[in-house]
Amino acid sequence: MVRVCKLSLFISLTKHRFMFFTNFVILLGTVGTEQPCTMIVRTKHWIIPDYYAWGVHISKLYLNRFSELLIHKPGEGFLLSLLATTLTPLRWIFSKFAESYYSIPMKKYDMVPDHSLFEALVTCLIAITPKDHYKRLEEGSIILKKSKTFSFCKEGVLLEGESSSTKSDIVIFGTGFKGDQKIKDMFTSEYFQKIAIG
C-alpha cells in the first residue's frame, strides 16, 4: 500500500519501511508502533486534514470574490481601503471560525502556530495531511518532536535539548518552500514587496 500526501514543514527521521521526500510523504507498508516514524517540527504551521471547517468549505470564507474585499491591496482607492478596514472584523471572524475547528487536534500536540489561519492561507504556509495523521500520532506510529536545531551523529540525529540521539536509518529533509519569499520576489518595488508579505 502506498500513500502520497503533501508535507511541507518537517524534517523526517525514518526507520526501515518509511521514506519521506521533500513536499511529499510516501509511506511504504503499514505504519506501526513497532517501527515508528519520528517527525521533527522546526516551525509550527497550520496542518489541516481537509478544506472543511465545521462542515463549511473554507473556499466559501477565503477563496471567493467577496473575500477579496477583506484585504488591502496595493494602489487601492479610498473607498476600497475604507471597505477593507470596515470588513476587518469579518475577516477575523472567518479566521477564528476555521481556526476553532482545525486547532482541536493541533492543541493536543502543541502545534497551533502564532499566526492566524488567514495569514497562513495568503502566504501559502498550510500543510495538508492525510486524514489519519493525528490518529497515527495518538497511537504512537508517528512520534512528534520539536526542535529548532539539530546535529548529526553516528546513530542518527541529536536534537536541541536532548542528551541522547534519535536513532534513524534515513534522514530526509522535507522543508518545503518559502512561499512568502516567492511572492516577494514577484515584485521589484520594495513598497509592493512589503505589502505582499507584510
Over 70: is that where the pLDDT of 14 sits?
A: no
22 or 89, higher pLDDT: 89
Q: Is the pLDDT of residue 8 over 60?
A: no
- Give the DSSP H or E segment for 182: helix 179-185
What pLDDT, in 10s, does the model give residues 64-85? 889 888 888 889 999 999 999 9
State the chain's mean pLDDT as an integer: 76
- In angstroms, the Cα distances linking 124 to 45, 75, 79 are 10, 23, 28
Please, which pLDDT band fits residue 130 given cuts at 50, 70 and 90?
A: confident
Q: Cα(15)–Cα(125) distance, rounded to whole angstroms? A: 28
Interval 130-154 mean pLDDT = 83
pLDDT of amino acid 3? 37
pTM of the model: 0.64
Using a pLDDT cut of 90, give the percent of the chain over it. 20
The per-residue pLDDT for range 46-61, each reduced to its tens digit, is 888 888 999 999 888 8
Domain spans of the chain, in order of start: 1-45+125-198, 53-123
Instruction: Provide the pLDDT confidence category of residue 12 given band limits of 50, 70 and 90.
Output: very low
Cβ–Cβ contacts within 10 Å for residue 194, how many?
12
* pLDDT score recorded for residue 82: 95
- The three cell numbers of residue 36 are 515508528
Q: Pairing state of beta strands 56-57 and 170-174?
A: unpaired
Q: How many CB atoms lie within 10 A of CB 23?
A: 14
